[in-house]
Amino acid sequence: MTQVSQSPSRRKFLASAGMTLSVPFLASLSSKRARAAEAKPPTRLIYYYVPNGINGSSRQSFWPTSQGTGANWSVSPMLKPLEAWRSRLLLIEGLENVPGVPIGGDHAVGTAAFITCVQAFKSDSAPRLGISADQIAASKIGKLTKIPSLQLGIEGGSTAGGCDSGYSCAYARSISWAGPTTPLPKLTNPQQVFDQLFAGFDAKATDAEQARRRAYQKSVLDAALADVNALATRLGRSDQRKLEEYTTGVRELERRVELLPKGSACDSGTRPPLPMDLPGRVRAMSDLMVLAFQCDLTRVVSFMLGNAASSHQYGFLGVSRGHHEVSHHGQNPTALAQLEKIGTWEIEQLAYLLSRLAAVKEGEGDLLSNTTIFWSSEVSDGDKHTHNDLPVLVAGQGGGAINAGRYLRFAPAQKANIASLLMATLKTVGVDSTIGNGTAALAGVNNT
């Protein structure tokens, strides 16, 4: 094992592997096998969480002001920043997330259920939940990209200990779960995200230089696997297991090399500067999502604009109290007006992301055409902690799979749920799966 694990060529390869970078989707430059698998641009998913609900007690602020549904609806005051994107939006009223209803701990449990649609087990030391929609997608399509999924956020904090009425901080600080006991940590520093995506990348490298680098990496892999084959017959059972683990790692690196398309490298731009204020961090994260998609480094992203019960202060909006405190408005007109300001600003951040995605042309459309964004919160009204009639937006067209440009409204008696909508979003990346308490994709969302 010493001969293999300490070989200089392997060290060189591991160093260089961290610097490899995919390019934007270019059908003419992809291999015949890749073109057969992807005759059109790939589709992507973003699950976008905002904390503390939207001003549910003043429904005219968020929901359309007209009674029309379908394409016949008027943009509400809070949705004004999205007016230019009406044809690429699906606004859905009347959805519930029953697994988010706890006995106490509404914010933590609602956030836990956000894209798992599973009831959180009450514990501050042994959280147990279920796999989230983004990770269901990543388990199916994650091997097609360098990074299976990207977890981003604005607020950090440990997932250990209790955060809300006896519920684990893991529920409050993560929406991505790889399994019942595996919450995935999120990156909250834009520079850290940039480094994970682009560290060591030379944007000035020519196509020939990139080809030489790929050839070198492939030759190192071949040499490493040759060493493995030579050793395999001379090792005991225990060492053979270790060798199998090593081989698995080599095969994963080989997969990454095979995924690198031919052609000019993706321009990563410049590393985000620090420090940043809150608006700057949110926009930097949006820019990085777009870059990750443009370079086909990942096709699945989750993003938390804040942790559950976030106490962000929005002084730049003239709101001095923390968001969670203001969300307990008690019908106070001043608090309601402040919540509308915060909600409108959150919608503006979504509009910025849409504009950035739409600015990147791809195939016959743009990145937004080939992306599905699910946007919502853990509660509808932060004062009453309600988990029905949740604020829900779906943006983008999912490669043509989303029937956008409409306003859908479900009556309470229909008991339409978030899980069914999440199943519909998974269909846009070719994943047909149940999730949480869902049984079928929500009617009226998909084109097929």
Helices (H) then strands (E): counts for the chain: 13, 15
189 and 329 both lie in a single domain: yes
In a domain, 365, yes or no: yes
253 and 320 both lie in a single domain: no
Q: pLDDT value at position 448?
A: 75
In a domain, 436, yes or no: no
- Among residues 240, 264, 288, which one ends one of the domains? 264
249 and 109 both lie in a single domain: no
The answer for residues whose C-beta is within 8 angstroms of residue 345's C-beta and 6 or more apart is: 314, 317
Mean pLDDT of 407-419: 95
Per-residue confidence band for 75, with pLDDT thresholds at 50, 70 and 90: confident
311 and 361 both lie in a single domain: yes
Per-residue confidence band for 6, with pLDDT thresholds at 50, 70 and 90: very low
119 and 155 both lie in a single domain: yes
Q: pLDDT value at position 20?
A: 38
248 and 343 both lie in a single domain: no
CATH code at position 92: 3.40.720
184 and 217 both lie in a single domain: no
In a domain, 371, yes or no: yes
Predicted confidence (pLDDT) at residue 337 exceeds the cutoff of 50: yes
Predicted confidence (pLDDT) at residue 148 exceeds the cutoff of 60: yes
Give the structural domain span for 252.
Answer: 1-21+204-264
In a domain, 444, yes or no: no
Predicted confidence (pLDDT) at residue 34 exceeds the cutoff of 60: no
Per-residue confidence band for 304, with pLDDT thresholds at 50, 70 and 90: very high
Predicted confidence (pLDDT) at residue 272 exceeds the cutoff of 80: yes
In a domain, 182, yes or no: yes
Residue in 111, 97, 203 with CA at minimum distance from that of residue 417: 97
Per-residue confidence band for 266, with pLDDT thresholds at 50, 70 and 90: confident
Predicted confidence (pLDDT) at residue 253 exceeds the cutoff of 70: no
300 and 419 both lie in a single domain: yes
DSSP 100-116: G--SS-HHHHHHHTTTT
Predicted confidence (pLDDT) at residue 424 exceeds the cutoff of 60: yes
Residue in 187, 157, 162 with CA at minimum distance from that of residue 173: 157
Predicted confidence (pLDDT) per residue in 87-131, tens digit: 999 999 999 999 999 878 999 999 999 999 999 999 999 999 999
294 and 378 both lie in a single domain: yes
Predicted confidence (pLDDT) at residue 4 exceeds the cutoff of 50: no
244 and 286 both lie in a single domain: no
Higher per-residue confidence, 211 vs 316: 316
220 and 109 both lie in a single domain: no
Higher per-residue confidence, 148 vs 25: 148
**Of all residues in the chain, what percent carry a pLDDT higher than 90?**
67
In a domain, 215, yes or no: yes
In a domain, 380, yes or no: yes
Predicted confidence (pLDDT) at residue 50 exceeds the cutoff of 80: yes
Predicted confidence (pLDDT) per residue in 353-378, tens digit: 999 999 999 999 999 999 999 999 99
Residue in 372, 379, 306, 317 with CA at minimum distance from that of residue 344: 317
81 and 196 both lie in a single domain: yes
Q: Rounded to an integer, what distance in angstroms lies between the CA atom of residue 186 and that of residue 165?
A: 23
Predicted confidence (pLDDT) at residue 12 exceeds the cutoff of 60: no
In a domain, 82, yes or no: yes
Q: pLDDT value at position 248?
A: 67
DSSP H helical segments within 113-168, as ranges?
A: 133-141
Indicate the number of domains in the chain: 2
Asked which of 13-27, 82-96, 176-190, 420-434 is least confident by mean pLDDT, the reply is 13-27
